[in-house]
Amino acid sequence: MSKQTFFFILLIFSLTSIRANHSPSLKTYCFLQESPKVAYDKQELRLSGLSGSGIIEIYSLIGNKIKEIRAQELYNFKSYLNLESGNMYIIRIITSDKIHTLKIIAS
């Protein structure tokens, strides 16, 4: 068998295997999702990186629930909170498909 015949057979086999693995009914989606971020400054809690509705729960470091906020839209969410400066707090964000847990230090 000549080199040209070998490469021709190799090329046909490669194309056949690619077509065999490709399913026209299989759709692949790629979503880029920003990680949620939370900030607290000058008594304002700001949230970014999420969209849709959800529940925001604020806990003290020892686990006491301080506040619960139901938000219709989490995209660029802002809320006034009076948290004690210098303390660490746990922010729990519950959406329809996931629960995010973040920490902040009130300043």
48: in domain: yes
Question: Is a pLDDT exceeding 80 seen at residue 18?
Answer: no
89: in domain: yes
Q: How confident is the model at residue 107 (pLDDT cuts 50, 70, 90)?
A: confident
Q: What is the pLDDT of residue 29?
A: 47
State mean pLDDT over 24-44: 70
83: in domain: yes
The sheet carrying 65-71 orders its strands as 65-71, 54-60, 88-94, 99-105
22: in domain: no
Question: Is a pLDDT exceeding 50 seen at residue 66?
Answer: yes
75: in domain: yes
CATH number at residue 64: 2.60.40.10
28: in domain: no
Number of domains in the chain: 1
Q: What is the pLDDT of residue 2?
A: 55
Among 88, 33, 97, residue whose Cα is nearest residue 66: 88
Q: Is 38 exposed, middle or buried (0-12, 13-18, 19+ CB in 10 A)?
A: buried
Structural contact between residues 75 and 63, judged by C-beta atoms closer than 8 angstroms: no
Structure tokens given for 48? 């970014």
Domain that holds residue 44: 37-105
Q: What is the pLDDT of residue 35?
A: 84
**Percent of the chain scoring above 90 in pLDDT:** 61
- Residue partners of 27: CB distance under 8 A and separation at least 6: none
**Percent of the chain scoring above 70 in pLDDT:** 68
Tell me how far apart the alpha carbons of residues 5 and 48 are, in angstroms, rounded to a whole number.
Answer: 59
32: in domain: no
2: in domain: no
